[in-house]
Each structure stands twice: as C-alpha cells, then as structure tokens.
Amino acid sequence: MIDNVLINPIVTEKMTAMAEKFGRYGFEVDPKANKIQIKNAVEKMYGVKVQDVNTARYRGKTRSRNTKGGAIIGRTSMYKKAVVTIAKGEAIDFFSNV
C-alpha cells in the first residue's frame, strides 16, 4: 500500500468555487494510487466522509526557450489529479494550521 498517496491540495479559484458550490476538492496524488487508496487517505487525513472520487492523468507539456546556445526543449512532469466529493454538510479547511 502507498503511504504518501496525497501529494498536495489544489487550491485555485476554480477548485475553491467547486468546493463551495458542490463540496468537491482537488488533490495532486501519486500516479500509482487508485480511487480506493485516495478515498481512504482523504478520510483519514481530514476526518470527512468521501462519497465519490474522480481521477485524471495529465501528460507533461512540452516547453521550449531560446538561449544564446540555441533552443532548449524540455518537458514538464506528468501528474495525476483527483477530485473528491465529500458528504453534504462537511468541509475541508486547507488553511487551518497556517
């Protein structure tokens, strides 16, 4: 079993709006983690009841920049995102211990 399933929460304007309106929260997760492991990790870490988990794999984007020595072409890292729907009336506060 993977110990570090959740890498970090995704806190953007779009995810914050989804959290307020629908009770959905986004996390960057380990690419090898499955939905059951993600559900258990969120329930254990935040003490909420998870109803649904949706996942998406994002391929790294190609990036290039021009330098004196010519163009440098590289690629950003691939990552996996999970959108977790929690039970009605519950909430996750990412900023409680800041």
Residue 44 scores a pLDDT above 60: yes
Domains of the chain: 6-86 (3.30.70.330)
Residue 41, C-beta contacts closer than 8 angstroms, at least 6 positions apart: 5, 6, 33
Query: Measured between alpha carbons, how far is 69 from 6 in angstroms, rounded to an integer?
Result: 40
**Pairing relation of β-strands 50-58 and 6-10?**
unpaired
The whole model's pTM is what?
Answer: 0.84
**Pairing relation of β-strands 50-58 and 79-86?**
antiparallel
Residue 5 scores a pLDDT above 60: yes
Average pLDDT of the chain? 92
